[in-house]
Copies of this chain bind each other. A is one copy, B any other.
Amino acid sequence: MTKEWKPDRLSEQPIYKQIVQYFEEQIRNGELPPLSKLPSERMLAEDLGVNRSTVATAYAELSASGLIISKRGSGTLVGEVNQDYSSGRLPNWNRMLIAGTLLPNVPIIQRIAEETHHKNLIDLATGQLSPELFPNEQFQHLLKNQHFDHPLSYDHPHGNMKLRETIAGHLKTYKKIDCTPSSILITSGAQQALHLIIQCLLKPGDAIAIENPSYTYSLPIFKSLGIKTILLDADENGVNPQAIHDAYMKHRIRMIFLGSAYQNPTGAVLHSERRKKTLSTAYEFGIPIVEDDPYSLLSFENESAATLKSEDSHGIVIYISSLSKMVSSGMRIGWILAPKQIIERLADARQQIDFGSSIFSDWLAREFLKSDFFDPHLHQLKIELKERRDILVSAIEKHLPGLVDYTVPKGGIHLWCRIKPAHHDEKLFNQSVDKGMIYTPGSALGSNKGFVRFTFGRAAKQSIDTAIAAFSEALLLQK
């Protein structure tokens, strides 16, 4: 609630008074309607970095003026006394909060977002790169040196034409994928690509298959839209094609969602035999595969991992990729490659949803991809990520000897671990947070208990060992 505001310590006004004014303003504005909840004294004191007694004084003053009330059991609420209800009533906001078609994120995902924003934790939870791994100077250079002369108007419904040309070239060079710009739709990251496909090409009651575990598992959109998700078992060589066969026989699945190489969370690469078999099974039944590939270029070996799309001779793969895990996640550039009539349909939907991607992001994405920066950046990034992976593996061997099972990932940013000692998933998570580190509990990404995802791309290099040491302390407490 008060994530951002901080009292001004240089001000003449006492801090408690600033807190009083901060809430007063929001209550009078209607930003905090009657009966909305205020943070507890303890939490607020922590957030603002002030003494608890300071918050207590502020709350006491707000109470005295009737602006807030303390209710046993429900904490501190905004009061109703100053409202004149004689002529009407307030909207039932609480009903609206739970009404929507789009379900909220699951609590653990919300909690990770909260904790990583609030607290100073070593972050092995968030699936992105550490700020210094992004090409910061290169972007500054492009911004200063490339001339922006696009119109400031809405751009083409499929995304900027020149960017799509550049992406077609990029796909050819780096992934051996052939396509033309009109089969590409620029999206706001792989995330929007997934959402568009699910909202436009599937209907309530349809069954689809996803890997267990996978990033896709964490998305509430399937449930929001009444789409049945069938879980496909996957191991360190990716999904088992037999599982696809069985899922089709049993559930007539209409689409298969697969992570490409260095899958999130397992780090797995689909074995080449399995890749062939997956494609032929899908083709046998006429099921399109949605291949989500944000990581395949992040290989720690000599060559990049192959994609399903590059071997898709029948055009049954809808291919998604993104710049988020290589270039910038904040710029929000991803894309979909699909048959033209599908692209037209998705582009129409995207117009409705948000009128297309930002001209500035499209421009910079293109400038970066076609510049001489991309290749050396990618090269350097892989070296850095590999080093972090090695640090993580050493830390695991040092602090958790014999306590976990895992496969060393050959690329990407994630490592998936089974925790062998008996433990309680939630307690382990809470205690790890208390010890100063955070990870993503496996339950957010798959149906089996006892797993965790450690992301090695996000934290500072020097802090990875400390994080795993903290985790092992938390694990010890489980006994």
Contacts and interface: CB of A to CB of B under 8 A. Distances in A.
A90 to B, nearest CB: 6
Interface centre among A156, A204, A328, A355 (most CB of B within 10 A): A355
Interface string A224-238: 010000000000000
A64 interface: no
A1 interface: yes
Contact of A349 (B102, B136, B254, B352): B102
A56 interface: no
Given A286-B91, A348-B105, A356 B340 contact: no
Given A4-B181, A88-B284, A345-B97, A189 B354 contact: yes
A348 B219 CA distance: 12
Interface stretch (A8-16, A24-32, A260-268, A467-475): A24-32
Nearest to A25: B180
Contacts of A188: 188, 354-355, 358
Interface residues of A, number: 120
A200 interface: yes
Interface in A1-54: 1-5, 22, 25-26, 28-33, 36
Interface in A135-157: 135-136, 139-140, 143-144, 147-157
A317 to B, nearest CB: 8
A351 interface: yes
Contact of A152 (B96, B189, B329): B329
Contacts of A330: 150-155, 356, 358-359
B359 A87 contact: no
Contact of A148 (B139, B147, B192, B327): B139
Interface string A85-98: 00111111100110
Contact of A316 (B1, B5, B90, B178): B90
Nearest to A140: B148
A279 to B, nearest CB: 9
Interface stretch (A66-74, A126-134, A300-308, A425-433): A126-134
Given A284-B87, A330-B358, A312 B134 contact: no
Contact of A4 (B93, B97, B182, B287): B182
A371 to B, nearest CB: 15
A243 interface: no
Contacts of A195: 352-354
Interface of A: 1-5, 22, 25-26, 28-33, 36, 83, 87-93, 96-97, 99-102, 104-105, 110, 113, 117, 126, 128-129, 131, 134-136, 139-140, 143-144, 147-157, 161, 178-183, 187-189, 191-192, 195, 199-204, 206, 219-221, 225, 254, 280, 283-288, 312-316, 324, 327-332, 339-342, 344-345, 348-349, 351-361, 364
Given A31-B315, A92-B286, A105-B348, 16 more contacts: A29-B180, A31-B340, A90-B314, A93-B342, A96-B342, A101-B225, A128-B153, A140-B148, A153-B330, A154-B330, A155-B330, A189-B354, A192-B355, A332-B358, A357-B358, A360-B364
22 contacts: A1-B182, A5-B182, A26-B180, A26-B183, A26-B340, A29-B315, A93-B339, A96-B201, A96-B288, A97-B345, A101-B203, A101-B225, A102-B352, A102-B353, A113-B157, A140-B148, A154-B329, A155-B330, A332-B354, A332-B356, A358-B361, A360-B361
